Amino acid sequence: MYQKIFPLLLLIIISACSFKPKEILINKNETCEPPKLFDPDNSKITLDGAFIFSDSELNYFYDIKINEWSCEKPKLNVLNLFDHRSTKSVFNNIESNKINKINEIQIRMADDFDFKSFVSMNCKEQGLSYLFEISSAENETIYGCQLTPNISSAVMWKQINKEPLIDIAYINLYQPFIDKILDVNSK
């Protein structure tokens, strides 16, 4: 009896292990781009540079490496979560093609920090863990930070004459990160 059952069990085990379920589409539309009436409640950013915009039912993915909507679900971990206000800001900038608009602000660095540590701490807290330095004039120091080196944009930080007033330049895509950086440094 065991001779008849063993081949059947072996066949079931092999077929169960080799079964790969079909990937379910994340949204129900023909296109990966959200419909005009889509109103995301929140968003997340992943290590591979994908914004995940969510409402109560659907998720849409925006790949910042190529600045396009994607049907492919991000594979890497979520680094940061954004509230409704920040989500609406970046989503509206994507939808109106204003994500590459450059913004500049200034913030004051606390006296107990050196510039590199200040930039590194602020970037790391937001998941912008790739830090780099750019050659600059003698009296200025410039750092940039981004999710990965594969992304062609970054948040840029400049200090002149070792003053505590820091210039930050960024594109609209980084607004949720900047909102959090400003919130942390205003306390």
- The 10s digit of each residue's pLDDT in 93-123 is 999 999 899 999 999 998 888 999 999 999 9
The pTM assigned to this predicted structure is 0.77
pLDDT at 10: 39
Q: Give the phi and the psi of residue 72 in degrees, each rounded to 5.
A: -80, 125
Largest CA distance in the chain: 87
Distance, CA of 135 to CA of 153 (rounded, Å): 17
pLDDT at 8: 44
Average predicted confidence (pLDDT) for the chain: 85
Encoded amino acid at 106, one letter: Q
Distance, CA of 47 to CA of 19 (rounded, Å): 29
Token pair belonging to 42: 């929140």
Cα–chain center distance at 87? 12
How do strand 42-46 and strand 50-54 relate by DSSP bridges?
Answer: antiparallel
Q: What angle do CA 76, 172, 69 make, to 5 degrees?
A: 45
- Cβ atoms of 71 and 128 within 8 Å: the answer is no
Token pair belonging to 93: 């900038």
Q: Give the phi and the psi of residue 128 in degrees, each rounded to 5.
A: -90, 75
- Cβ atoms of 173 and 146 within 8 Å: the answer is no
How do strand 78-82 and strand 42-46 relate by DSSP bridges?
Answer: antiparallel
List pLDDT tens digits, range 160-180.
999 999 999 999 999 999 999
Instruction: Give the pLDDT band of residue 28 (cuts 50, 70, 90).
Output: low
The number of CA neighbours under 13 Å toward the Cβ of 17 is 6
- Does the domain formed by 102-185 have CATH 1.20.272.10? no
Domain ranges, ordered by start, for the chain: 42-95, 102-185
